[in-house]
A and B are shown apart, each in its own frame.
Chain A
Amino acid sequence: MPTQKATRSQVRLYNQQLVLRLVYSGEADNRAALAQKSGLTKPAISNLVAELIEEGLLEEGGFGESTESGGKRPRLLKFVSEARQVIGVSINYDQFIGVMTNLDGQIIAQHRSEFTGTEFDDVYPVLLDVINGLVAQLSAPLLCIGMGVPGVVDNNDRMVAYVPRFGWRNLPLSQILGDHYGVSSYVANDSHLASMALFAFADEPPRGGLATVIVSQTVGVGIVSGNASVQYGSEIGYLRGRDMSTLDERLGWNRVRQRAGELGVEYGSVYLQQEKLSYLHIRQGVENGDAGTIHLQNELAENVVEIFAWIIALVRPQNIALSGKIADLGDQFLDVIVDKLSGLVMPRLIEETSFLVDDSPDLMSVGAAANAIQQELGLATAN
């Protein structure tokens, strides 16, 4: 019966993931330990291990210590992180940034391409070109594809519900990519993925939860709970404030550039009247005490601080990261935000929170690859 077949295959997949997870995390390194840790029978473990060895995901190594009762020395098992490769892609500004990683999340190749336009039919061919650029570099079979979008993603049916910047609605991107490449494809909100990447690949694992606020063309927030069991993220830039303007209209780069032009004229600021203005010009203007850029920085901080305050009040993560293009404003901008927080949030809550800035451009694509690995194999590529 089809239903029973599906259930058996799901159980097998679940058990394979469990075995992989136990070996990957170092909780078990031989068949007996796997049986003990998983609660599965020894014959079931032997079959699962044989399947995973055949698939190249596990390999046998040397022999471990014999048990106290003096039994046979167990054959050690090792996870083969090079057995498969994974592609993660995200949208950064007007660019697709793609990475190819092994199963440890280690980057093997990167590919980027700029796009213009907002219609899916304009943007999709460029996305395929970027994935193809990484497919060309594969040195092991492709396991799956992860994708990050600056929008609202329904995690249950992996549907892109809404991408405000492009006007995309109810887009089955996961299915489209999966059908095109013949592998599983996982789509998630890019702020969620950035948070996940920061959490997983930080030099030291963040203690407590982590919230990541991404501000580039749009605004998003990603959350990872302290033990990484709860993760989510969403675009929030379309939310309207008291003056009925959206966060994107107040913090998106187009608005920042326009406002810089106005303040540049008002204050006669050379920093704000650059033809190719970037956040780095604003940063330099602030550092040199330019009144116009300090005014602009304060306006930006006023808007970001509200987001931080809501996050602290609702989620109380122990860490908040600021990322996206705005991160080029650096630590001094973060200091201004934290100063302003004291007017909105209890000082004790601020003291309990660590704040950081991360300006890595490939944060979201690395997160997309990590998310795909987690979804496909049940492996958290965390510290």
Chain B
Amino acid sequence: MRAIKAITNDKTGIFQEAVLDGLHTTAQQTDFQVEVLTTDNVNADPPLDDTKGVVVIANAVSNDVLSRIYKMEIPITLVSHRHPELPIPAVMSDNAQGIRTLMAHLIRQCGRSSPVFIRGIPEQQDSQERERAFRQELLRHNIASEASRIIDGRFSSEAAVVAIQKLLAAGFPFDCLIAADYVMGIAAQDTLQSAGISVPGEVSIVGYGDDRAAKKAGLTTVSANIRELGQRAARQIISQINGLHISGTTTINVELIIRDSCGCHEPL
């Protein structure tokens, strides 16, 4: 069996686990084996002896490390991020489509007009694209682009809670929250309810991505099939190993899942 190395910074993270599951499933069908390499140092060169190809998940190594792997002419595929200069192919969910779908839903279907965006980690590509898409949608819907409309959640429940508490303390008026991932969306729901603010009565909340936890919390989301992201990445790296030259990005569509948190869901 030929080896593909999958580099991640957290192999038990919900996102990473689903990507790895997709990678394993597709690789096994084509006589490849995925070896998972967990790293906590983005600047460390990973051991790549006897590796036919590398899949790097969500900025697990720095762009400098990527450049060095690229120079070694080992095929690389990136999942949920891109290199700013090198033509390394990537697989990502369609962040712009997802945020556009959520914003259109809040404004057209739920009748909201003053959104606040809880962003992820500003250094991460997915996070940057979702934030850029949010800014674009503010323009599309003619909503003033004040600095207070974007708060820092860093893809973490704890950071999101602190950011929302600061937002409430500052008294900035808002009637909907768009979280760059569903984990922060759930945290936002709990925080607002603890502060005595009705969700979705006073504030609608939506989040990017989906999981059982989002379903349990009744959070309206756009769902990207993360396992499919892993499967597509496996197909891409195997084709590269087999000699296909690829650049650019394979994108996965997302789907709107309407639940209670946005306020326009009619219970069955």
Give A residues with C-beta under 8 Å from B. Answer: 96, 107, 109-114, 125-126, 128-130, 132-137, 278, 280-281, 283-284, 287-288, 328, 330
A residues less than 8 Å from B250 (CB atoms): 109-111, 133-134, 136-137
Q: In the complex, what residue of chain A is closest to B238 when comparing beta carbons?
A: A136
Closest chain-A Cβ to B156's Cβ sits at a distance in Å of 30
Known: A107-B253, A110-B250, A112-B249. Contact between A133 and B236, CB under 8 A? yes
Taking a contact as CB atoms under 8 Å apart, the answer to whether A283 and B253 are in contact is: no
Known: A111-B251, A136-B239, A280-B136. A287 touches B142 (CB 8 A): yes
- Contact pick for B248, options A130, A135, A280, A287, CB 8 Å: A130
Give a binary string over B244-263; 1 marks a CB under 8 Å from any A CB, 0 the rest.
11111111010000000000
Residues of A close to B236: CB separation below 8 A = 133, 136-137
| Cβ 8 A contact of A137, one of B235, B245, B248, B253 | B235
Cβ of A126: which chain B residues have Cβ within 8 Å of it? Answer: 247-248
Chain B residues within 8 Å of A133, by CB: 89, 236, 246-250
Bound complex: CA A16 to CA B182 (Å): 50
Is A110 touching B251 in the complex (CB atoms < 8 A)? yes
| Assembled-state Cα–Cα distance A98/B94 (Å) | 14
Give the one of B142, B239, B240, B246 with max A CB within 10 A: B246
Is B232 part of the binding interface, using a Cβ–Cβ cutoff of 8 Å?
A: yes
A-B contact pairs, 29 of them (CB 8 A): A109-B250, A110-B250, A110-B251, A111-B250, A112-B248, A112-B249, A113-B247, A125-B245, A126-B247, A129-B246, A129-B247, A132-B239, A132-B246, A133-B236, A133-B246, A135-B239, A136-B240, A136-B246, A137-B232, A137-B236, A137-B250, A280-B136, A280-B139, A281-B139, A283-B140, A283-B142, A284-B142, A288-B142, A328-B140
Contacts of B87 in A (CB 8 A): 113, 129
A177 CB, min distance to chain B CBs, angstroms: 15
Beyond A126-B247, A129-B246, A136-B250, 12 additional pairs, beta carbon < 8 A: A107-B253, A109-B250, A110-B250, A113-B87, A126-B248, A129-B89, A129-B248, A132-B239, A132-B246, A133-B89, A137-B236, A280-B136
Dominant secondary structure at the B interface: mixed
A128 touches B239 (CB 8 A): no
CA distance A111 to B236 in the complex (A): 11
Q: How far is the CA of A278 from the CA of B250 in the complex (A)?
A: 25
A281 partner residues in chain B, CB cutoff 8 A: 139
Residues of B within 8 A of A114 (CB): 248
Pick the contact of A113: B136, B238, B249, B253 (CB < 8 A). B249
Closest partner residue, chain A, to B250 (CB atom): A111
B residues contacting the other copy or chain, number (CB 8 A): 22
* Contact among B140, B238, B244 with A132 in the assembled complex (CB-CB below 8 Å): B244
Q: How far is the CA of A129 from the CA of B244 in the complex (A)?
A: 8
Are B139 and A278 in touch, CB under 8 angstroms?
A: yes
Task: Please name all residues of chain A whose beta carbon is closer than 8 Å to the beta carbon of B248 when the two chains form the complex.
Answer: 96, 111-114, 126, 129-130, 133
Interface string of B158-173 (1 = CB under 8 A from A): 0000000000000000
Closest to A128 in B: B245
Most buried by B among A96, A136, A280, A330: A136
* A110 and B139 form a contact (CB under 8 A): no
Q: How far is the CB of A193 from chain B (nearest CB, A)?
A: 20
User: Are B139's CB and A283's CB within 8 A?
Assistant: yes
Residues in B whose Cβ lies below 8 Å from that of A107 = 253
Residues of B within 8 A of A134 (CB): 250
- Alpha-carbon distance A22/B236, docked complex (angstroms): 37
Q: Note all chain B residues with C-beta closer than 8 A to A113.
A: 87, 247-249
Q: In the complex, are the beta carbons of B245 and A132 less than 8 A apart?
A: yes
* Residues on B with beta carbons closer than 8 Å to the beta carbon of A109: 232, 250
Contacts of B205-259 to chain A: CB distance below 8 A: 232, 235-236, 238-240, 244-251, 253
A280 contacts B140, C-beta separation under 8 Å: yes
Q: How far is the CB of B95 from chain A (nearest CB, A)?
A: 12
User: Which residues of B from 125 to 147 have beta carbons under 8 Å from A?
Assistant: 136, 139-140, 142
- Rounded to whole Å, the gap between the CB of A99 and the closest CB of chain B is 10
Q: Mark B11-33, 1 if CB is under 8 A from A, else 0.
A: 00000000000000000000000
Collect the chain B residues with CB atoms within 8 Å of residue A130's CB: 248
A residues in contact with B89, CB < 8 Å:
129, 133
* Chain B: minimal CB distance from A77 (Å): 31
Beta-carbon contact of B235 and A136 below 8 Å: yes
Nearest B-chain residue to A134, judged by Cβ: B250
Q: How many Å from the CB of B138 to the closest CB on chain A?
A: 8
- Nearest chain A CB to B4 CB, angstrom units: 14
Q: How far is the CA of A281 from the CA of B145 in the complex (A)?
A: 12
Return chain A residues, CB-CB under 8 Å to B239.
Answer: 132, 135-136
B139: A residues at CB distance < 8 A: 278, 280-281, 283-284
- Closest-by-CB residue of B relative to A100 is B250
